[in-house]
Amino acid sequence: MNRLAPKVLPGFGITLGFTLTYLGFLVLLPLGALMFQALSNNPFDFFRSAFHPRALSAYWNSFSMAFSAALLNTFIGLLIAWVLVRYRFFGRRFMDAVIDLPFALPTSVAGFVYSTLYSERGWLGEFLGQNGIHLTHTWFLTVLVLLFTGFPFVVRTVQPVLEELDGDLEEAAAILGANRFQTFIHVIMPSILPALITGFSLAFARGLGEYGSIVFVSSNLPYRSETGPVLIVSRLEENAINDASAAAIVMLMASFGMLLLINTLQKRRQSNG
């Protein structure tokens, strides 16, 4: 008896065409225009603009701040997700709802709040200043804002994985004599590691492209605290479109390469596991 060959679900052609059109107009077309603008001039001018000392300093600030914030968010997000999943306490639902606040809150509002709070006359800034700690326009305050804008990505990525973990595995580990730390390292961590990597990637990408909050809390000085997005906006305001396009291309390629590497390592780990 001949079996009928499996067919694609009805409507596949229409949905595929809509998807490609959507991606083309909203993603590929703007990126293509950016590439064309950046590479339309002499290649030497492009490399001179893209790897100018000011630009290199801005790239370093962006990547170091975003990486530091994402790394801290990985630990903080895991801790918060663990508390929400494993414990029941008064105010848990309110805490769970507050985690999504950075998603809805404009980043400029977050930057304004943090800059006001930690200013010399702010509630915390005045207290810290009396003890010789000044955080206004510092690297630490910038990373703190990136922590605020990025930690929900880790929490919302890890939380569903923790909820779906099989409790029988932990009970089996306890029966075999494993303590809580050994159970976490050898049983729980391998299951949530892909989600942690994904959350780290999302938080890192979020921090790398952040602009609205950084302009409030950072001094934005060239060669010192200026980040990549701030540099791009500054060059646009100076009508240096080619320089801004070159910096945007470098940020885009570096971000895409970093995310591609992390996703590749994650898939390899899943396939080997």
Crossing angle for the helix pair 53-86 and 189-208, nearest 10 degrees? Answer: 140
- The full set of domain ranges for the chain reads 26-272
pLDDT tens sequence for the chain (273 residues): 455 555 555 667 788 787 888 888 777 777 777 777 767 777 788 888 888 999 999 999 999 999 999 999 999 999 999 999 888 888 888 988 889 888 888 888 888 888 888 888 888 888 888 888 888 888 888 999 999 998 899 999 999 988 888 777 777 877 877 788 888 888 888 888 888 988 898 899 889 888 888 988 888 888 988 999 999 999 988 888 888 888 888 888 888 887 787 777 667 666 655
Looking up tokens 């895991």 gives 78
Assigned CATH class of 26-272? mainly alpha
Q: Rounded to whole angstroms, how far apart are CA atoms 134 and 140?
A: 10
- Asked if 195 and 157 touch (Cβ cutoff 8 Å), the reply is yes
Element (H, E) at 166: none
Enter the pTM of the model: 0.82
Q: Which pLDDT score, from 0 to 100, does residue 60 have?
A: 94
Structure tokens at 258: 């970093």
